[in-house]
Each structure stands twice: as structure tokens, then as C-alpha cells.
Structure 1
Amino acid sequence: MTTPASDARAGDPDGTAAGTTAGGGTDGGAGAPAGASTPAVGLRRSSLVMASGTAASRVLGVVNTALLGWAIGLTGEVANAFSVANKLPNTLYLLIAGGVLNAVLVPQVVRAYRRADGQQYVDRLLTVGVVGLLGLTLVLTAAAPLFVAFYSSFPDPEVTRLATALAFWCIPQVFFYGLYSLLGQVLNARGSFGPYMWAPVVNNVVFVVGLLVLVQVAGRTGEGDTAGDWTAGQTALLGGAATLGIVVQALVLLVPLYRSGFRYRPRWGLRGSGLGSAGRVATWTFLGLLIGQVGVWRISVVASSVATEGAAGNAVYDRAFLIFMLPHSLVTVSLATALFTRLSGRAASGDAAGVRTDLSLGLRTVGVFTVLATTGIAVLAFPLGRALFPDQPDGEVHALAMSVVALVLGLVAFGVWSLCQRVYYAYEDARSMVPVQLLMAAVVVGGTELGRATLDDRYWVAAACLSMAVSYAVGAVVALVSVRRRLGGVDGRRVLTLHLKAAVGAVLAAGAGLGLLALLGPVDSWGRAVLACVLGGALMTAVYVGVLALLRVRELRTLAAPVLRRLGRG
């Protein structure tokens, strides 16, 4: 199953989550500094395994979201109730525990193995982390009704009741998110990168099985079914499957840990560990996460208050965000991660020119991909929605497509913002991002509330998605100005020239795609939707790549190099 806060089923290893990105969050930011401590050679050798694990997780995430829509619908009361309930553990972990773990404990785990008493120190860190997470999870689970009330405003109290019951099942995921993060970072510190990236695949498989069992036992939830029709058994199956996936995702890491020779002994005491100074970094990280959550909170409340039957609500927003994040997760995150080690090393040595060169390369290479992805997703939004949710009424698929188009308009800017974040973290400067995050959150909240005040409720989620896209654009511009000041430039002419050439290719590709859709006729079945997506995607990619090749865009080769190398070895 996927929610915005989980990207492609919860436990997203790169940390990209709506809980952080909406309103100007981190895109894995808190965890990014830890990556700077990982040996560059190990990262390069493991990049293929990590990338393949991420890709498999994303593909299964799409399968999950399609199955979830098939099992419980896309816009109904049950779908929206589950959306709020299963978003809570992602949001709460990220806000309360994730920032502390990533900014304080995780970097300490990486550094621990450089110490003479490294294993003992890791044992102490794990003991403190696990006990703290367990206590925190118990408190958060007990407060489930308060969180549901805070993050939703359902017109029908029965929907709130169902969301609360599901939240009691889902919030315990917080503990296992934290355990997954801690165990995964211990593996990374010991030079084993693959299991951390592949574990979410197991999570996805568990949830798929859970959904199939739910439908087999209780049947599918139809368009006319209400929250009041939902039984305690169905609640246990759905919420239990979602949480079991996170449990397995965390515990499966124990196998490679044991095989690596790691043996854990509970130990107490961290006096003199240096965590106090690390805690100051966590303070700014937490503040940035908190600011980002303001936008997420308003979107969740506004989306849950939609009363028109069949209109976009929380569940549609979740699925729109998944589609938006898919290209970012598959390509942008991988490229940004590969660049981060170099950025960090050059920033530490005072090589501003080197940081500028790497940032320019990242902005140009990511730009080539995100412009194409924006064009393809925007043109194929309805066929894509129909392919993912073949049994849903046209009105619901149109509601999803409208939200997807509004959100994907910010994809290019989101890539720019993500790369600028890597520069901030390379200089260990989370503080300077806070004003940018405040501005982005203000845009999200203001745009969402303006949509609610001026539009029919069937357009509220689309307005919220558009406000997020605008916030990414604002954040990208402000961050670029700030980074330009720090670095003495960002190679702006080359970056702008690349994006203008990409825009020419995108316009021509969009024209070709729209022409093909007109020739194919109405997309009224799953088969026609898949055909439109395959042919449209292939045609637009061919036109786009052809135009950029004619315009001599060298970044095309940079983007394709890993694939070409792989094919050459094959």
C-alpha cells in the first residue's frame, strides 16, 4: 500500500515522504548527513543493488496502490478513513522520532565503527533507540483518537470512528519504522547496503497478500458501502496487514545482520558520547520537519472534509502523490545520492567551485529526466489512472487525473529543491533551510485554504496539489538564490539553456502524445488504457530524446550512462 508519507509502501529508505516534502520538508534530508560518512567506494560498488531494490519497491508500490483501490475503492468513506489512519504512523515517526534518529543516532552508528569500542557503543545506541521508540509508540498509540481528530474533519462521525479503529492498528508501525532505520544503518556502516533497500520489497509483498486475503474473506468494498458497514474483522485484516508489512520489513534485516557477524548485547549508558552537540543539529532538523507538517496537516484536514460523493479526498491525494513521487524516487534520488558524497567531501575541503560544478551537473541531468516525466505523466494522467484503477467510475479517475496533473507541474522544481537541499546538508547547515521551508509551508496552506474558500469541494484536493507544486517552485527559486550566494554562482547559464532545450522537446513530445490519444479514441477499458500508456510513453520519449539529441544535449548521455554500462556488461 502507498501513502504520501511512505512513497512506495511505508519505510521508504530514501526518506522521501509527503510528510516532509509538502510544505518544504527534507526529502530524506535528516538522513542525508549520515550518507556523507559512508565510504564512497562502498556506495559505488553497491549502487546497482541499491537502485534495483528501490526500483522493485516502487513497482510493487504501484501494484499495491492499484490493489488497494480495487479492494476498498478510490474515493469512498473506507478508503479515506484508511488513508488518514495509515498516514499517521508515517507522519508521527518522521516528525517525532525520524528526525532524532537520522540526525543524532544514525550518524553516531556510522562513526561508532571507527572507535576502538565501536561494537559496545553501537549496542548502547541500539538499546537507547529501541527502548525510546517502544515507549514513544505506546504513548502515540494510546493517543490515536486525538491524532485522527487533529488530521481529519470527516462530515460523518462513522468515518472518524473507523479511522480511529484503523489508527489503533496502524500507529504501532512507528516502532518498526525506527527499528528498520537503526538496523539498516548498522548494516550500511558494516558495508552491506543491499538489504536496507530491498527490505521494503518484502513489506510490499506482505501487504499485497493481506489485501488478497481481505477480499477473499470479506469481499470488495463497493462504491455504495459506508464506514458503518465495515466490520471489526475487516478493520483487523486491513490495519493488521499494513502493520505486519512494516514489522517484516524491519525484522528481515536481522538475517543479514547476523550473517555479517553482528551480535547485539543490551548495554546502557551514553555519557561522554557527544550526543549533546549532535542534538543541536537535530533541533533544526526537527523544526524543518515540523514546518513541513503544517502543510500536510491542512491538506489532510481539507481533503477529509470533502462531502460530495465521488469527489477527490485523502485517498485520491495519496495516490496522486505516489504517481508524482515515482519518477523522483527512481531517478532523482539515485542521482542526488550519488552526488552527495562528492558534494560533502568538497564542501568539507572548502572547494566551492567543485560543489558548484557538481550541483550544475545534478541540476542539468535531473532536469533532462524531470521535464520528460512531467510531460509524460501530465499527458497520460487519465489513461494511467484508468490502468491502475480499471473498475472505478470515470468521475473518480478524472478526479485522480486532475490532481496528478496539478501536482506533477511541480516535479521539475521539486528536483531542483532536492538538489539544493543536498548542498545545505553537505555544509551541515539545516538552519539556513528553515526560512525557505516556512515560505513553502505558507504557500501550501494559503493555496489549500484559498481553494476551499473559492471552489466547489470536488476541486479542493486539486487546489491543494497545485499549491504544493507552486511551493516547490518558490522553494527552488529561493534556495537557488541562497546557494548561489554561498557558492559564488550555480552555473546558471548552462542550467537555464538545458531547461529551455528540454522545454522545446517537451512541447513537441506533448503534441505527439496528445495526437496519439486523439487517434486511439476513448480510453474506456483497462486494455485501451495500457495501450495508450505504452504507445504514448514510447512515442513521447522518442520525440523528446530525438529533439534533445538534435539540440546536442550532452546530459542525455550522462543520464543514460548507467543503463548503457549495464547493457555493455550484459
Structure 2
Amino acid sequence: MLRASAIMAAGTMVSRVTGFARTMVLAYAIGTKALGDSYNAAYAIPYSILDLLLLGVLSSVVVPMIVRAQQHDHDGGRAYEQRLLTISAVALIVVAVLAVFAAPLLIDLYTDWTPGSNKYEVAVMLARFILPQLAFFGVGAVAGAILNTRDRYGAPMWAPVVNNLVVIAVFVAYAVFSGAGDDIGAVSTGDLALLGLGTTAGIVAQAAILIVALRRVGFSFVPRFDLRNARLGEMGRAGVWTIGYVIVTQLGFMLTTNLASAAGDAVEGHGISPYTLAFQLFQLPYGVIGVSVITAMLPRMSRAVGEGRLNDVRTEFGSSVRLICSLMVPVSLLLMVLGPAITVPIYGHGANSVADAVYIGNVLQVYGLALVPFAVFQLLLRVFYSFGDTRTPVFVGAGTTAVNAVLMVLFNAMLPPRYAVMGLALAYAVAYALGAMLAWWLASRRVEGLGGWTIGMALTRMYLAALPTAVLALAAVWVVTEVVNGLGFVNSLIVLATGGGLGLLLYLGVAHRMRIPEVNSIVGMVAGRVGR
């Protein structure tokens, strides 16, 4: 699993690095004020719809069903995969067309902006250019799921790099050729078409890479409309609960964007864009480490469940948690300490000031609290999905989202508008910590124990090994802010090199001396690769 995860993590790391470059160019070109908020609101909607219709079902329903078809169908599941890809393509083309026509309604749902205002109208136009990517993104996601069940993890993790490079080129072109900058009142229809259609072009390129990768593993796509053999009833019965879960989480996301957009109207530069950019950075460690391990774990766990090997399910889960947390623990502490030092070099340029970037870093610091609970929560959901149980995650997700919503409203009422987005991040952290506790209790009952004592002791040792790293990072921040007078671009890089770079090396050294096996495995694998 470590080798498979390393392949995916390498691709995801390059993807996230180019994603950094993408967000840097975005912040440079359009900033985090009115135009940036409009773009980020329009950009978030396709991902929300995809979560609702496809991506949540992929991990919980589609991957286990493909695995079963490969195990039991006489053709190894080939016809089933072709039907699945055909149905997904047709359905998502229809959804994309309907979404384009419904763009004003969608923007109204996801923001607090008044129809007719500059933010609202620009967001609607951008959404109409961006929403067609739904069809391409969805087909690419199904293709990636088929590749994963064949233990081909490289292309799904590397394809987003192409997407990022295309979008980077688009924003560079906007910064060079458009004179509007971050002025929402000065942007032309041509400017918005460049930003919106360019964003869609990136997804088209990403999907094309995955389709080519499918052909290279011997998959020949033949459209199949014989729906009687598509097992839609089975998929519907399993997927209805997953869709319910995604609906609940999207209602929570809708509340988040409405509160963030209202905060941005009250204090310019403190709205949707800081929330979105901080959330993307928060998701980076999980995307590189957590998703890679989960993607390798789910097919293996599904096979173990299918063969009645509950002990292997427990072993797979425990090793996954320890492997993920061995890196998530120090990274979460570093995010809480180094948030502004991370965001200033990335976002403090062009249309975005250093003060705007520092605020994004403050939001990121709060999100650092949520990193480990969120990763464990996602792992626990895969335990239920491996059993084909999509109902329990709905109730767990509903409870988590309800707590999150109550806390968001409460913190939003208590905090001044300039701190409202930080309050959203805090509500998220608390809700997922409580959700992880509930999911752990339910999953432990399902598999007759998850080895909580062993995992708890392992996490305690990881946190103890990471404490010197946190102290070093705090010292670096204090020296730069108190002695050198502030976080500029160069000073932030010094803090990152000292607190982040040396801090992680210190953690690896301390963890190695403490004989934490997951860290030793990672160090040994990297050393072996370097030695070659």
C-alpha cells in the first residue's frame, strides 16, 4: 500500500505544486476582493454539483461495484464498465446543459449577493462559461475510478497537472492582455470568457489524459445502452444514501458560502476568496497523503469484506490511519503556526496585498485544527463503504453538518465580520472532530473493534515527536515578527525554510529515534529510492 500510495502521492504533489502556482497567478491577476469572490463562487458550483451527482457515489458505490463486476462477471467486468461510462457521459451532458441555463438560480443559492449587483452578474456570466466542464470532469472521474480498480494510480493523480498548467496559462494571459486587473467594474465580456472558458479547457485536457490512459491499459470504449444489465437498481439502492449524504454536506457548504459572501460585502477582502484559498491549502496535505492512501485502501478493503476477512479490514484500516497521521500530525501543527508565512509568498502579489495574504494565512491557521480529525473521518467512512453500507455515512454526515451549521451561525453572530471566515473554519474543525468520534464508535461496532488503544498510543507518540517541530516553528515566527519586523516575501521564506523545512527534518529525526514504524518505513523507502 505504501508503494501504491507513494506513486499517487508523487503525482498529487506535482499537481498540488502546480495548483499553488495556479492560485498564485489567480490571486495576482484578479485578487481576493469583488472579482476574485465572483470567480471563486462560480468555480465552486460545478464541484458542488459533481459532489452531489457523482464523486461521492464514486468512492462509496461505483468502485466496490466495479470490483465485484471484475470478480464475478464472465468478461471481467468490461461490459459493465462500458455501460457505466456511457450512462455517466450522457447524464452529465444533460446536467451541464441544464446547469448553464440555471446559472442565475445557482449563484443566488450559493451567495448572499443581490441580483443586479456587479458581483452577482459577473458570477453568473462566469458560471455559464465554467459549468460545461461538468460533463468532462465527470467522465474523467469515472475513467479514473476504472483505472484505480486496475491498480493503475498514476494517470488519475498526474492528469490534474495538465489542468493546472492550462489554467495558469489562462490567468497569465489575462494579467498580460487585460487592463481590468481586479476591477470588477472594468472587466469585459471577453475578459470573463477568457477566465471561464479557459478554466473549462483545463478540465477538458484533464479528461482527455484519463481517456488516453484507459486505452493504454487495453480498455476499448464501446457505447452501451442496454440498461437492463447496468445494475442501475442496485446502484440506486446503494447510491441513494450517498446522494443523501452529499445533499446534506452541500446544504452546509451553501450556508458557508452565503455567510462568507456576506462577510465579504461587510469587509472587502474577507469573503469567499480567503475562505476558498485557505481551504485549498488546508486540503493539500489530505490530497497528497490522505487521498493517496484511501484510494489504494478502498479496493483492498472491499475485497477483504467480500471474502469475509474482517481481521484484514481492521489491519488495513489501522495501517492506513497510522500511515496518514504519521505525516498529518506534524503538518497540522505547522499549519497552525506558519499559516501567514505560507500564504504571503503565494498570495501577496499583484492585485493582492500582503495584508490580504496574511488574512488568508490566519484562516489557514484555524483550519490546521481540522486536518487530523478530517482525515480520520474520511478513512472511517471508507470502512462503511467497503461493506456496501452507504446509509450510515448519511446519518454521520448529517449530524456533522448539522453541528457545523449551528456553530457557523453561532460564531458568525458572535464575531465581527472581519473574523467571520475564521469562525467558519473553527466551526468546521469542531464539527469534524465530533463527527470522527461518532463514526469511530459506529465503525468499531461494525468490524468488532478498530484497535483504538493501539492507534491512540501511536498518535500520542507522533504528537510527542512533533512537539519540537512546533517549538522550532514558533521560535522562527517570533524572531521574524518581533526582531526583523514583519512578514514580507523574503522573511516568510526564511520562516518557512527554518520552521517548515528544518522542522520537518527534526520531526523525522525524532520520530526515527522514537522508532515510530510508519515514519521509518517512509524514510526507508525514500532513502532506497535516492540510493538508486
Please, what TM-score do these two structures have when normalized by structure 1? Answer: 0.85
Tell me: CA distance 1:220–1:507, structure 2 relative to 1, closer, same or farther (3 Å): farther
Aligned-pair CA distance for 1:395: 2.8
Query: Aligned residue for 2:376?
Result: 416
Tell me: CA distance 1:560–1:427, structure 2 relative to 1, closer, same or farther (3 Å): farther
Aligned-pair CA distance for 1:112: 5.5
Q: Which amino acid aligns with 1:444?
A: N
Alignment of 1:333-372 (within 5 A): 333-372=291-330
Distance 1:411 1:85 in 2: 26
Q: Which digits, 9 at most, give the CA deviation of each residue in 1:318-360, with x for residues without a partner?
A: 1111111111111122223333344333333333333223322
Query: Aligned residue for 2:111?
Result: 152
Could you say what secondary structure the match of 2:297 adopts? helix
Query: Aligned residue for 1:129?
Result: 88
Tell me: CA distance 1:117–1:348, structure 2 relative to 1, closer, same or farther (3 Å): closer
Distance 1:308 1:185 in 2: 43
Tell me: CA distance 1:563–1:247, structure 2 relative to 1, closer, same or farther (3 Å): same
Query: Aligned residue for 2:464?
Result: 504
Tell me: CA distance 1:426–1:104, structure 2 relative to 1, closer, same or farther (3 Å): closer
Alignment partner of 1:141 out of 92, 100, 103? 100
Q: Which digits, 9 at most, give the CA deviation of each residue in 1:242-300, with x for residues without a partner?
A: 11101111123343444455444434222144321121111011011111112111100
Distance 1:452 1:542 in 2: 39
User: Is 1:208 aligned to residue 168 of structure 2?
Assistant: yes
Contact preservation (8 Å) 2:60, 2:382: no
Aligned-pair CA distance for 1:557: 1.1
Tell me: CA distance 1:182–1:355, structure 2 relative to 1, closer, same or farther (3 Å): closer
Alignment partner of 1:379 out of 324, 334, 337? 337
Alignment partner of 2:491 out of 520, 528, 531? 528
Query: Aligned residue for 1:428?
Result: 388
Percent identity of paired positions between Structure 1 and Structure 2: 31
Distance 2:380 2:192 in 1: 42
Contact preservation (8 Å) 1:311, 1:458: no
Could you say what secondary structure the match of 1:268 adopts? coil
Distance 1:455 1:69 in 2: 26
Query: Aligned residue for 1:8?
Result: none
Contact preservation (8 Å) 1:71, 1:220: no
Q: Which digits, 9 at most, give the CA deviation of each residue in 1:16-55, with x for residues without a partner?
A: xxxxxxxxxxxxxxxxxxxxxxxxxxx8886554332222
Query: Aligned residue for 2:225?
Result: 268
Aligned-pair CA distance for 1:122: 4.3
Query: Aligned residue for 2:521?
Result: 558
Aligned-pair CA distance for 1:72: 0.5
Q: How many residues align?
A: 523
Aligned-pair CA distance for 1:372: 0.1
Contact preservation (8 Å) 1:374, 1:412: yes
Aligned-pair CA distance for 1:121: 4.9
Distance 1:344 1:450 in 2: 40
Distance 1:552 1:54 in 2: 28
Distance 1:466 1:112 in 2: 42
Contact preservation (8 Å) 1:384, 1:533: yes
Distance 2:378 2:421 in 1: 24
Distance 2:323 2:148 in 1: 27
Contact preservation (8 Å) 1:288, 1:437: yes
Distance 1:352 1:124 in 2: 32
Aligned-pair CA distance for 1:106: 6.0
Aligned-pair CA distance for 1:543: 3.3
Q: Which amino acid aligns with 1:499?
A: L
Distance 2:274 2:58 in 1: 31
Q: Which amino acid aligns with 1:436?
A: V
Alignment partner of 2:506 out of 533, 538, 543? 543
**Structure 2, gaps ≥5 residues long:** none
Tell me: CA distance 1:102–1:264, structure 2 relative to 1, closer, same or farther (3 Å): same
Aligned-pair CA distance for 1:138: 0.7
Q: Which digits, 9 at most, give the CA deviation of each residue in 1:185-223, with x for residues without a partner?
A: 44455665432322111111100110111111104624x
* Two-structure CA RMSD over aligned residues (Å): 2.5
User: Is 1:95 aligned to residue 84 of structure 2?
Assistant: no
Distance 2:457 2:216 in 1: 50
Alignment partner of 2:238 out of 258, 264, 281? 281
Contact preservation (8 Å) 1:77, 1:159: yes
Tell me: CA distance 1:558–1:335, structure 2 relative to 1, closer, same or farther (3 Å): farther
Distance 1:253 1:157 in 2: 40
Q: Which amino acid aligns with 2:529?
A: R
Alignment partner of 1:255 out of 184, 208, 212? 212
Could you say what secondary structure the match of 2:266 adopts? coil
Greater CA deviation, 110-119 or 513-522? Answer: 110-119
User: Is 1:66 aligned to residue 24 of structure 2?
Assistant: yes
Tell me: CA distance 1:190–1:555, structure 2 relative to 1, closer, same or farther (3 Å): closer
Alignment partner of 1:491 out of 444, 451, 455? 451
Q: Which amino acid aligns with 2:303?
A: G
Distance 1:212 1:503 in 2: 41
Query: Aligned residue for 1:315?
Result: 273
Contact preservation (8 Å) 1:321, 1:404: yes
Distance 2:145 2:127 in 1: 28
Could you say what secondary structure the match of 2:227 adopts? coil
Contact preservation (8 Å) 2:60, 2:386: no
Q: Which amino acid aligns with 1:217?
A: F
Distance 2:389 2:226 in 1: 29
Alignment of 1:79-90 (within 5 A): 79-90=36-47
Greater share of helix residues, 1 or 2?
2
Tell me: CA distance 1:403–1:136, structure 2 relative to 1, closer, same or farther (3 Å): same
Alignment partner of 1:448 out of 397, 408, 431? 408
